[in-house]
Structure 1
Amino acid sequence: MNSSKKSIKRVFALFALMFLVSIGYIFKIVIVDKEFLTTNSYNPRINSTDSNIKRGSIYDIDGNLMAYSEKDGDAYRRIYVDGENSAHVLGYTGVGKSGVEATQNFTLQKLDNEIMQRLKAFISGDEPEGNSVVLTVDSYLQKIGSDLMRTNNGAVVVIEVKTGRVVCMVSKPNYDPQSVAENWDSLREDENSPLLNRAAQGLYPPGSTFKIVTAVSAMRNLGDVNSFEYTCTGVAEFDGKIIHCYNDKAHGNVNLTSAFAQSCNCYFAELGKKMGAVNLRDTADKLGFNKDFKFDLNSSKSTVLLNGDSTESELVETSIGQGRTTVTPLFMASLTAAVANNGVMMKPYLVDSVLNYSGKTIKTNLPQTLETVFKEEECAKLKEMMTDVVNSGTGYNADSEYFQVAGKTGTAENPQGADHLWFVGFAPAEEPEYAVAVVLENGDGSMNPSVIARKMLYNSIEKENR
């Protein structure tokens, strides 16, 4: 009898546990995963629309119309205003959805004050209209960024330092959102992947821009790193791995500041060896690598895959931004903005506000702090070194007659072709307003990322001051 009672109790406990787990899982789906599931491109509901509802419009930060719907027979047709310059921000509708059209899909279809709108539609014939979305990007800067990229593949991201507002996000190659349905097969099969938002999803080796991370890790783990000097001959060997400086140039006797300005690979490889893989990985983690990067568009995770078992070869490669290290331009722009913002990393965001059918603001997104990733004294040193990069180092093409630019160049080896070219920076260096990240794939010399960055910073600051 006692044995039977114990069995019944165990079965009851098991069922109770299963019930609680089921409730917990349902709670996770409904509350925690709601946003992910409703905006996921694999969700079939994302392509369902109410044909009686006019989809809300999309505006830039100045109120310029970027996308709207107009009546076309019994249905609505989506119109994109100069859509190619902002293709990867806006996205497309019709053959699935992407970009803001996907992530803000339910906002754009949602009816504010639905009863009133339905009544108005019954009386006047005006069909219900979904909410509209105001973005943080500036159409003016989008066009400049797109034009500056010319025919280069890659990305440009500009972020407002104090707020995290993304004021420009350009990805090349782009496409015309208006004709995605007609050109779907060719766009999908194109080897250049024009549908990929390289700014938020593209993963690249960071090259020497990663020396920002290596330098900070050395500050944290090597005591007075400024006293460490190294004699660069242009080439160095580490556990069988040959590290070259650009064009095998010998930089001679260098310290942290001069090696950073001249982007001396041999110095930073030796620096990485001195601090060790565990310390470099720990610093990277604390700066936001290897974490999901939540953003208003689908985005990829930037990763550093060092660990205690990494070889010396893997360590020195990572120290100069090669090896198994990949980043998105969006993340590098945010990291650079954190340096400019005295260590505080703001959450980058793209959706500024939501308007209802009558143009009334019903939701406003405010700046959010993610975390403090740098110490103020680290930022002071980085600003000094990044200024030297522009004034007397590899970033001379970013030098501006209007304000002081601080930045870091990068050349990332690409096993599939020519090197990828990078520049990250901010301006004015003394009181930073905007941070920028530029990457050019397979740099062919037709454009320099430092020049693009300088011009984007100039136009961002000048527009703000007009």
Structure 2
Amino acid sequence: MEKLHRNIKLIFAVFCGLFLCLLGYLTYFQVYERQKLIESSYNRRLWEQEESITRGTVYDIKGRVLAATVEENGVKRRVYPQGPAFGPLLGYSSRKLGRAGLEEVLNGELLGISQQDPMLVLRQKVLGVSKGNDVYLTIDSDLQKKAYELFRGRRGALVALDPNTGAVLAMVSSPGYNPGLAEQQWEALSKDEASPLLNRAIQGLYPPGSSFKIVTLAAALEGIPDIEKKTYETPGYVKVNGRVIRDYEGMEPGNYDVKKAFRHSSNSVFVKIGLELGKERLFAKAQEFGFNSRIPFELPVTVSRFPGFSLMSDDVELAEDSIGQGRLLATPLQMALVTSTVANGGKMVQPYIVHKAVTPLGYVKNFQKTGFTKQVIDGVTANKIREYMVDVVENGTGTPAKIQGIPVAGKTGSAENPHGKPHAWFVGFAPAHDPKIAVAVVVENAGSGGRNAGPIARDIILQYLKGLR
């Protein structure tokens, strides 16, 4: 009898445990996952709901339509009047294909089912409102289309930020596609080797090349005493454990201080600086700039990778990482944040692209972020890097980005890759001493960063600053 009682207690305890697990499981989905499940593009009920609710309109920062719903003969259709410059960013909303890009991320807002004041929901139901919320982005459509045109069909990406607030002014991925034709062209788009469906600005990973020397320089200015008084002799190359790393053609051998080496983007000198820094300090500084961490943003961003060091790591790996090569990979958004941090006195701001949402009854929900994410480098270090970056554009590899009457701070990069010619990079900001815009540009397999990415950045900076006058 005692054994029977023990077994009954055991079975009771097991069932109680199972019941608590089920209760916890249901509570978790009700409290934490409820809204995500409601707004998911896989939720078939949303498509049925969209028959009775007109999907909200997406506008740029100046109120120009980027995506809207039109009804013809009782059939609703999503239209995208700005064309392929916005394809990878906006994505599409199609019953046949599903949703992608901002159309997916903002699905709850555009259908008016995102979490909001219950009284507002009640008022809309009483008044018979059958329209979702309109959404305003921080993007300037003129700037976006201009940037897209500057790529001339070449593969690459551009991200332009307001370094003071983190607002995304332009986010271009080339080549793009017209979202309104996604259904008709789906087979061709999905098989296209140029990957137009990919948003390279946030999903593309590239070796940053010499544009990463901003991070190495920041670590050196903070970690190597009297670094600015030192000179480094270079014959035009450096040997590290048998590996030869060369400077770019046209760079003269000789003695270089750190400013001159940065101006001419000397690989050999920055390899020596990286080795002097050591793997721990360089790795720590890259982490502070956001590498190996997920960038908080409305759209999912691929994590930029600074490889961790193991017991098997050697100086060759450290040397390559010091100049943005090896296994080091970054998204254009990540490099835009790096240069934006310098522009903002060492403060890294959180990027955002959704400005506000407006309900059918006129209630405004602001999404603008406040404050900064973290102090990555101190103001003194940031000002020194700013001075070096101005020198790059005035006297070094970045002269193609020079603008008459407007001081520009920048850094070029020509990142070697195993699949063809080097990727061309340019990162910078302007005006140098009162920054209003920070830009990162990468053009795939284009060669020199100064000659191929610099002019794109220059034209975008100039157009944006003209618009502020």
* Whole-angstrom CA distance in 2 between matches of 1:170 and 1:426: 17
Residues matched between the structures, number: 460
The 3-state SS of whatever aligns with 1:199 is helix
Amino acid at match of 2:418: P
Choose from 450, 457, 462 the match for 1:453.
457
* Whole-angstrom CA distance in 1 between matches of 2:241 and 2:30: 52
Amino acid at match of 1:213: V
Choose from 441, 466, 469 the match for 1:462.
466
Q: What displacement does 1:73 show?
A: 2.9
| Deviation per residue, 1:40-81 (Å, 9 max, x gap) | 666767766420110000000001111110113333100111
2:323 equivalent to 1:320: yes
Match of 2:221 in 1: 219
* Whole-angstrom CA distance in 2 between matches of 1:269 and 1:8: 71
Match of 1:385 in 2: 388
Match of 1:422 in 2: 425
* Whole-angstrom CA distance in 2 between matches of 1:259 and 1:39: 52
Match of 1:57 in 2: 57
Choose from 81, 102, 108 the match for 1:106.
108
Give yes or no for contact 1:47–1:97 (8 Å, CA) kept in 2.
no
Match of 1:341 in 2: 344
Q: What displacement does 1:129 show?
A: 0.8
Match of 1:70 in 2: 70
Q: What displacement does 1:220 show?
A: 2.7
When residues 289 and 137 of structure 1 are mapped into structure 2, their CA distance, relative to the original with a 3 A threshold, is same
Choose from 350, 365, 368 the match for 1:365.
368
Match of 1:124 in 2: none
* Whole-angstrom CA distance in 1 between matches of 2:38 and 2:214: 37
* Whole-angstrom CA distance in 2 between matches of 1:461 and 1:35: 40
When residues 181 and 307 of structure 1 are mapped into structure 2, their CA distance, relative to the original with a 3 A threshold, is same
| Deviation per residue, 1:309-361 (Å, 9 max, x gap) | 32111110111000111111111111211110011111100000001124442
Match of 2:155 in 1: 153
| Deviation per residue, 1:272-305 (Å, 9 max, x gap) | 1112112211111112110011211121111101
| Deviation per residue, 1:410-458 (Å, 9 max, x gap) | 0001211111000000001111111000000011689721111111111
Choose from 185, 188, 208 the match for 2:187.
185
Choose from 404, 409, 421 the match for 1:406.
409
| Deviation per residue, 1:105-137 (Å, 9 max, x gap) | 11101168455555555xxxxx71111100000
TM alignment of 1:266-345, pairs within 5 A:
266-309=268-311, 310-345=313-348
The 3-state SS of whatever aligns with 2:380 is helix
* Whole-angstrom CA distance in 2 between matches of 1:6 and 1:274: 69
The 3-state SS of whatever aligns with 1:432 is coil
* Whole-angstrom CA distance in 2 between matches of 1:358 and 1:322: 53
Q: What displacement does 1:219 show?
A: 2.2
The 3-state SS of whatever aligns with 1:369 is coil
Give yes or no for contact 1:85–1:143 (8 Å, CA) kept in 2.
yes
TM alignment of 1:84-103, pairs within 5 A:
84-94=84-94, 95-103=97-105
* Whole-angstrom CA distance in 1 between matches of 2:189 and 2:59: 26
Structure 2: runs of 5+ lacking an equivalent: none
TM alignment of 1:170-209, pairs within 5 A:
170-209=172-211
* Whole-angstrom CA distance in 2 between matches of 1:272 and 1:8: 68
The 3-state SS of whatever aligns with 2:200 is coil
* Whole-angstrom CA distance in 2 between matches of 1:24 and 1:386: 55
Amino acid at match of 1:317: E
Match of 2:359 in 1: 356
* Whole-angstrom CA distance in 2 between matches of 1:386 and 1:66: 35
* Whole-angstrom CA distance in 2 between matches of 1:424 and 1:391: 15
TM-score (norm 1): 0.91
The 3-state SS of whatever aligns with 1:384 is helix
* Whole-angstrom CA distance in 2 between matches of 1:428 and 1:43: 47
Give yes or no for contact 2:321–2:327 (8 Å, CA) kept in 1.
yes
Choose from 241, 252, 270 the match for 1:250.
252
Amino acid at match of 2:199: N
* Whole-angstrom CA distance in 1 between matches of 2:226 and 2:35: 47
The 3-state SS of whatever aligns with 1:307 is coil
Amino acid at match of 2:259: T
Give yes or no for contact 1:46–1:102 (8 Å, CA) kept in 2.
no
Match of 1:136 in 2: 138
* Whole-angstrom CA distance in 1 between matches of 2:412 and 2:202: 20
Q: What displacement does 1:204 show?
A: 0.5
TM alignment of 1:106-125, pairs within 5 A:
106-110=108-112, 113-114=120-121, 116-118=123-125, 120-121=127-128
Amino acid at match of 1:277: K
The 3-state SS of whatever aligns with 1:285 is helix
Give yes or no for contact 2:105–2:299 (8 Å, CA) kept in 1.
yes
Q: What displacement does 1:203 show?
A: 0.6
When residues 425 and 19 of structure 1 are mapped into structure 2, their CA distance, relative to the original with a 3 A threshold, is farther
* Whole-angstrom CA distance in 2 between matches of 1:117 and 1:75: 23
* Whole-angstrom CA distance in 1 between matches of 2:150 and 2:453: 9
* Whole-angstrom CA distance in 2 between matches of 1:145 and 1:116: 43
When residues 35 and 435 of structure 1 are mapped into structure 2, their CA distance, relative to the original with a 3 A threshold, is farther
* Whole-angstrom CA distance in 1 between matches of 2:219 and 2:251: 25
Q: What displacement does 1:148 show?
A: 1.1
The 3-state SS of whatever aligns with 1:68 is strand
* Whole-angstrom CA distance in 1 between matches of 2:371 and 2:7: 53
* Whole-angstrom CA distance in 2 between matches of 1:263 and 1:27: 56
